Amino acid sequence: MGFHHPALICLNGHVITTNADNSSFTTPYCSKCGKKTISSCPNCQHQIDGKYEVQGILDLTGYDMTAPAFCPYCGKPYPWTQLAIDAAIAIINETDNLTESDKTTFSDNISDILSETPKTKLATIRINKVLKKAGSTITAGVKDVLVEICAESVKRVLFP
């Protein structure tokens, strides 16, 4: 039988440690950005699953993880996911050559490009149209905030 240690992640999505049970690795704030760190979902309080350990097996290998986008226990986006969504929408809203309808298309479809769902392909096509129209500077800005959290297939299309 194995179990997950809780991971400790800052509100911006930097992974501090994948084993928050070891208090020598835990800090109340992130050393990269200064944000508060959490080891459980703010919505449902379930721990954020980190390193998986099988009992009785001494495993000294490191364990790399990227911050998960959604809480698998309540389905809500984690704080860093919400921050990235908000930041991407803010960039698009500052773009002069987009219409209101382009901006609405972007914000309505953005949550479907974060993970693979039946709606991901359509959402990717729609977002891609908006980004093409917005131009390369805006696309680069959106890429910066979304590349870590969007689905692999989406990355290949939007940010090749």
Residues near Zn ion (CB under 5 A): 10, 12, 14, 30, 32-33, 35, 41, 43-44, 71, 73-74
Helix ranges (DSSP H) in 5-119: 79-93, 100-109
Q: Which is nearer to Zn ion, 38 or 154 (CB)?
A: 38
Q: Residue 44 or 90: which CB sits closer to Zn ion?
A: 44
DSSP-based helix, strand, coil % in the chain, nearest 5? 40, 15, 45
**4 strand-pairing partners:** 52
Nearer to Zn ion, 47 or 107 (CB): 47
Taking the complex as a whole, the smallest distance from the CB of residue 16 to Zn ion amounts, in Å, to 8
d(CA 153, CA 13): 21
Shortest spacing between CB 128 and Zn ion, in angstroms = 29
Nearer to Zn ion, 10 or 98 (CB): 10
Find, among 82, 77, 113, the residue nearest to 105 by Cα: 113
We find the least distance from the C-beta atom of residue 157 to Zn ion, in angstroms, to be: 28
- As given in the structure block, the two tokens for residue 152 are 């692999």
The residue among 81, 77, 22 whose CA lies nearest residue 50 is 22
* Least gap, CB of 10 to Zn ion (angstroms): 3
Q: Which is nearer to Zn ion, 21 or 49 (CB)?
A: 49
- Whole-angstrom distance, CA of residue 12 vs CA of residue 44: 19
Q: Tell me how far, at minimum, the Cβ of 33 lies from Zn ion, in Å.
A: 3
